[in-house]
Amino acid sequence: MGRLQLWLVVLAALSGIVAQEDLYRKVFVFRKDPSDAYVLLRAKLEQPLQNFTVCLRSYTDLTRPYSLFSYATKAQDNEILLFKPKPSEYRFYVGGKFVIFRVPEGHGDWEHVCASWESATGIAEFWLNGKPWPRKGLQRGYTVGVEAAILLGQEQDAFGGGFDVYNSFSGELADVYLWDVGLSPDKMRAAYQSLRLPPAILAWKSLSYEVKGDVVVKPRLREALGP
């Protein structure tokens, strides 16, 4: 990225203008703990979701609860939520209800998670660092609403707000994707390895976003985040 491009990205972030860019080999750095900062994601959702997959990569030394990905509608603030209440547990919400996936405590490295859900069976899948956890049942027959506020780094207790700063994220986030399908096992592993992926509603390489507060886009400190 040239100096002019970099300046335009910084200016957009500071002024609240929506930016769209290829964030390959870049990260969002959430600098403060606790914080009211977040990143608002823009997605073109044309119809309610019967299936979806969300993936992202995080790097933090937090041990308190924090939110990674929050998708809220006016009817339901936890339509889709990836939340980590403690180092050994992830919670995956759909339509206000959740299932728990117990995981080994991290060793100070990046963690890549993917969570998928399908309405027809209510099957919820959770993948950590390219490996699947036992599948669980969640909200069979439910439909995820389409008019959504999608945030990184905060949990919404109201549409687009209602934050508890002690559930905020502090650290680095990257490789955020949302699909309106359940990914196959091969594609789940490809997401972990940062390989070629199918077109997505939200894609890290063409992300439309707006920074709210103290979040900075920086180059990754490591070339590869896969295995």
pLDDT along the chain (227 residues), means of 10: 47 59 95 97 93 97 97 97 98 98 91 98 98 98 96 97 97 98 98 95 97 97 61
Residue 108's pLDDT is what? 84
Ordered domains of the chain (ranges, CATH): 3-219 (2.60.120.200)
The Cα 124–Cα 115 span in angstroms is 7
The predicted structure's pLDDT at residue 106: 83
Q: Using an 8 Å Cβ cutoff, are 170 and 60 in contact?
A: yes
Q: What's the CA gap between 205 and 64, in Å, rounded?
A: 30
pTM: 0.91
The answer to whether 23 and 207 are in contact (CB under 8 A) is yes
How confident is the model at residue 223, as a pLDDT?
59
